[in-house]
């Protein structure tokens, strides 16, 4: 089964699809977990450990096999109206996955380039450096990739895309602060042979942002 991005909400994996065609997990012993997978396959050794890890993975797939869209509403989209351009900020990938991530171009610098290119291709102005200070509202599109090693060679990940801009406090109009006015996130699971899914999912979330931006900035 060809590995697919967890961003595709409409496709639901069966238990058999998620853990390989052969229900006998002992068959998987001895396989090298570092090889590039042809599907979501579990590589374990101890029977009791197998059952526990299978339960954990099944739970993650059950609850996190589709995106969790936060604050992508009519109200939050309205805050994107009239935005003339934006900066792109990407937090560094966490150390626990960096040694495997380089193979797939999974770094803050590469994600930054990916996001900027996609925005520009879709007619959205991206600025760098001090030019950001000249844009009304000082808007910025922020990307955060959080990873956690759930088992050797396996990583649960959470990606958050947040649009921030200057906002005025109603209780004290003299105070302005950068605040998140639109955001979206996705949670998924990958092993060291499929970390490209994280980069793909970042692209998918940026596509959602572009759709939201265009909805309120029609030319």
CATH code for the domain in which residue 139 is found: 3.30.160
Q: What is the pLDDT along the chain (219 residues), one digit of tens a residue?
A: 444 444 443 334 443 344 344 433 333 334 344 444 433 333 334 445 455 554 555 455 444 444 444 478 899 999 999 999 999 999 999 888 888 988 888 999 999 999 999 999 999 999 998 898 899 999 999 999 999 998 888 999 999 999 999 999 889 989 999 999 999 999 999 999 999 999 999 999 999 999 999 999 987
Task: Report if residue 125 sits inside a domain.
Answer: yes
- Give the residue from 47, 64, 81 where a domain finishes: 64
Q: Which domain holds residue 212?
A: 67-216
- Whole-number pLDDT of residue 98: 87
* CA nearest to 219, candidates 123, 108, 131: 123
**Claim to verify: residue 32 and residue 71 sit in the same structural domain:** no
Task: Report if residue 5 sits inside a domain.
Answer: no
**Claim to verify: residue 87 and residue 38 sit in the same structural domain:** no
Which 3 state secondary structure label does DSSP give 195?
coil
**Claim to verify: residue 88 and residue 53 sit in the same structural domain:** no
Contacts 24+ apart (CB under 8 A), 70-74: 70/183, 70/184, 70/185, 71/180, 71/182, 71/183, 71/184, 72/182, 72/183, 72/184, 72/208, 72/212
**Claim to verify: residue 88 and residue 124 sit in the same structural domain:** yes
Task: Report if residue 3 sits inside a domain.
Answer: no
**Claim to verify: residue 204 and residue 107 sit in the same structural domain:** yes
**Claim to verify: residue 45 and residue 73 sit in the same structural domain:** no
| Exposure class string for 137-170: b at 16+ Cβ within 10 A, else e | bebbbbbebebeeebebbbbbbbbbbbbbeeeee
**Claim to verify: residue 134 and residue 154 sit in the same structural domain:** yes
**Domain total in the chain:** 2
- Whole-number pLDDT of residue 24: 38
- Give the residue from 46, 64, 82 where a domain finishes: 64
Which 3 state secondary structure label does DSSP give 211?
helix
Q: What whole-number distance in Å separates Cα of residue 106 and Cα of residue 118?
A: 16
**Claim to verify: residue 81 and residue 56 sit in the same structural domain:** no
Task: Report if residue 137 sits inside a domain.
Answer: yes
**Claim to verify: residue 49 and residue 125 sit in the same structural domain:** no
Q: What whole-number distance in Å separates Cα of residue 25 and Cα of residue 192?
A: 20
Task: Report if residue 128 sits inside a domain.
Answer: yes
Task: Report if residue 207 sits inside a domain.
Answer: yes
- Whole-number pLDDT of residue 105: 85
Q: What whole-number distance in Å separates Cα of residue 49 and Cα of residue 34?
A: 19
Task: Report if residue 2 sits inside a domain.
Answer: no
Asked if residue 36 lies in contact with residue 192, where contact means CB atoms within 8 angstroms, the answer is no
- Whole-number pLDDT of residue 52: 54
In angstroms, how far is CA 18 from the centroid of its own chain? 20
Strand 140-151 vs strand 87-90: parallel, antiparallel, or unpaired?
A: parallel
**Claim to verify: residue 89 and residue 100 sit in the same structural domain:** yes
- Whole-number pLDDT of residue 87: 96
**Claim to verify: residue 167 and residue 153 sit in the same structural domain:** yes
- Whole-number pLDDT of residue 99: 85
Q: What whole-number distance in Å separates Cα of residue 35 and Cα of residue 44?
A: 14
- Whole-number pLDDT of residue 53: 53
- Whole-number pLDDT of residue 129: 86
Residue identified by tokens 């088992």 is 151
**Claim to verify: residue 57 and residue 78 sit in the same structural domain:** no
Task: Report if residue 6 sits inside a domain.
Answer: no
């Amino acid at each position: 089964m060809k590995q697919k991005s967890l961003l595709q909400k409409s496709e639901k994996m069966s238990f058999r699809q998620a853990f390989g065609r052969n229900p006998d997990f002992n068959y998987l012993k001895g396989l090298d977990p570092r090889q590039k997978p042809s599907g979501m396959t579990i590589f374990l050794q101890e029977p009791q450990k197998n059952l526990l890890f299978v339960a954990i993975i099944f739970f993650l797939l059950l609850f996190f096999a589709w995106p969790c869209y936060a604050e992508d509403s009519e109200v939050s989209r309205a805050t994107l109206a009239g935005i003339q351009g934006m900066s792109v900020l990407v937090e560094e990938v966490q150390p626990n996955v960096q040694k495997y991530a380089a193979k797939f171009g999974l770094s803050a610098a590469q994600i930054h380039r990916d996001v900027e290119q996609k925005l520009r291709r879709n007619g959205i102005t991206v600025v760098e450096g001090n030019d950001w200070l000249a844009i009304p509202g000082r808007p910025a599109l922020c990307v955060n990739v959080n990873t956690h090693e759930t088992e050797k060679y396996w990583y649960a990940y959470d990606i958050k895309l947040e649009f921030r801009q200057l906002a005025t406090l109603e209780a004290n109009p003299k105070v302005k602060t950068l605040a998140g006015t639109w955001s979206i996130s996705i949670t998924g699971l990958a092993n060291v042979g499929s970390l490209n899914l994280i980069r793909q999912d970042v692209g998918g979330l940026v596509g959602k942002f572009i759709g939201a931006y265009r909805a309120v900035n029609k030319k």
